[in-house]
Amino acid sequence: MRLKNTLEDLVYNLTDSIISSYKEDIPKNSKFKLDVVCYVLNRILPEYIISYRGLIYEEMELKYDSQKFTDIISLIYDAIRTIKSRRKEDISDNISEEIEWGYTSIESEDYIFNFPQIIGQVFNSTNFEPIDGADVLLVDEYNNKINMASSLWKNPIQTFIKTNGIFTFWPKSIKAENNSIPIEKVFRMKIIVSKEGFLKEEKFFSFNLKSEKTIVNQIKRGDIINLEPVYLAK
CATH of the domain at 218: 2.60.40.10
Residues 111 and 33 in one domain: no
Kindly state whether residue 34 falls inside one of the protein's structural domains.
yes
Contact indicator for 106, 214 with CB cutoff of 8 Å: yes
Q: What's the structural domain count of the chain?
A: 2
Kindly state whether residue 91 falls inside one of the protein's structural domains.
no
192 DSSP β-pair partners: 137, 202
Residues 124 and 196 in one domain: yes
Residues 116 and 211 in one domain: yes
Give the range of the structural domain holding residue 181, as residue numbers without chain letter.
105-232
Kindly state whether residue 182 falls inside one of the protein's structural domains.
yes
Kindly state whether residue 154 falls inside one of the protein's structural domains.
yes
Kindly state whether residue 100 falls inside one of the protein's structural domains.
no
Digit-by-digit pLDDT tens for the chain (234 residues) are 566 777 888 898 889 889 888 877 777 777 888 889 999 999 998 888 777 888 888 888 777 777 888 899 999 999 998 988 876 555 444 444 444 555 556 778 889 999 999 999 999 999 999 999 999 999 999 999 999 998 889 999 999 999 999 999 999 999 998 888 999 999 999 999 999 999 999 999 999 999 999 888 777 777 889 999 999 999
- pTM, rounded to two decimals: 0.72
Residues 113 and 43 in one domain: no
Kindly state whether residue 50 falls inside one of the protein's structural domains.
yes
Q: What is the phi/psi pair of residue 222, to 5°?
A: -65, -20
State the number of CA atoms in the 13 A half-sphere of 125 facing the CB.
10
Q: At which of 27, 53, 86 does a domain end?
A: 86
Residues 66 and 114 in one domain: no
Residues 50 and 141 in one domain: no
Residues 76 and 170 in one domain: no
Residues 82 and 120 in one domain: no
Residues 133 and 211 in one domain: yes
Tell me the C-alpha distance between 206 and 140, whole Å. Answer: 10
Quote the pLDDT of residue 87. Answer: 60
> Between the CA of residue 22 and those of 14, 56, 211, what are the distances in Å?
12, 32, 35
Quote the pLDDT of residue 25. Answer: 77
Kindly state whether residue 97 falls inside one of the protein's structural domains.
no
The SS3 assignment for 230 reads strand
Residues 80 and 110 in one domain: no
Residues 210 and 142 in one domain: yes
Quote the pLDDT of residue 103. Answer: 55
Kindly state whether residue 75 falls inside one of the protein's structural domains.
yes
Quote the pLDDT of residue 3. Answer: 66
Cβ of 97: how many Cβ atoms within 10 Å? 7
Residues 114 and 177 in one domain: yes
